[in-house]
Amino acid sequence: MSNIKFFSFAKVTSDKLIYNAGNEKSMDETYKAEAIKVMREIKNIGLNFDERQKINTGSGSWFCKIDSKNILYLVLCTSSYPERHAYGMIQQLQNHLEKLADYGNEDDTSLKFHAKSTMNDLSTKYNDLRKVDKIYEVNQNLQDVQQQMEKNVRNMIENQTNLENLDTRSQSMKMTSQQLLSNSKELESIMKWRNFKLNLIICFVILGVLAYILVPIIMKYAN
């Protein structure tokens, strides 16, 4: 969202905006209609030369000022935009117009021609507070550093968590491998015992067969 939404000026004697600039072109028609209402409200208030007036609407805050030539300046900003910078922006446009010999009597076309480029530049410049407010710039830089530090800390925590998870998985795999080794040794022991019993049974069978064959023969020759 833009800080400087709409920037315009007009003659107090007219309801017509001479030129408008801003950073939300898609909303120009809406802001133009609202600017006309603000102009009429300023006239009803009876704002005097060099007096300032702030009017809050649903679109933000309108900062208004009338100069000695009955030129009304209007700038629509976000509600949190610093007032001193809004009026500083208006003052720079006023200073630029005052370079004309008698700008109060200039026609709208001439005023538009002289103001257009300056208004566009001011809208861009004041939209980024870091370009006009050193304190804001320092605070913004501090916030950027803080956000980067917080990001680094989060990354460190995530990396630590990942390392802990990796260590946990490693320990789990180690325990599993130890269990497999233990099971394999137990299985090997069982198989050895089974083989021993099988061999023992085979020996007894062979001995039994031999006894069955040899005993009758031995007894025959013994008689």
Domain at 53, CATH number: 3.30.450.50
In a domain, 50, yes or no: yes
Number of domains in the chain: 1
Examine residue 174 and state whether it is found in any structural domain, yes or no: no
Specify if 203 maps to a domain.
no
Between the alpha carbon of residue 170 and those of residues 76, 121, 165, 173, the distances in Å are 62, 62, 8, 5
Within-domain flag for 167:
no
| Domain-embedded: residue 221 | no
Smallest Cα–Cα separation from 111: which of 75, 77, 73, 76? Answer: 73
Non-local (6+) Cβ contacts of 94 within 8 A are: 65, 67, 71, 73
Range of the domain at 49: 4-130
Residue 111 lies in a domain: yes
Q: What is the pLDDT of residues 130-186, one digit of tens each?
A: 888 654 444 445 556 566 777 777 777 777 767 677 778 878 888 887 888 777 787
Rounded Cα distance, 183 and 194, in Å: 16
Structure tokens at 78: 């976000």
The answer to whether residue 172 is domain-embedded is: no
pTM attached to this predicted model: 0.60
Q: Cα–Cα distances in Å, from 44 out to 139, 140, 211? A: 40, 40, 136
- Report residue 151 CA to chain centroid gap: 12
User: Which amino acid, residue 71?
Assistant: I
Within a domain: 196: no
| pLDDT of 15 | 83
pLDDT in tens, 106-126: 899 999 999 999 999 999 999
d(CA 120, CA 142): 30
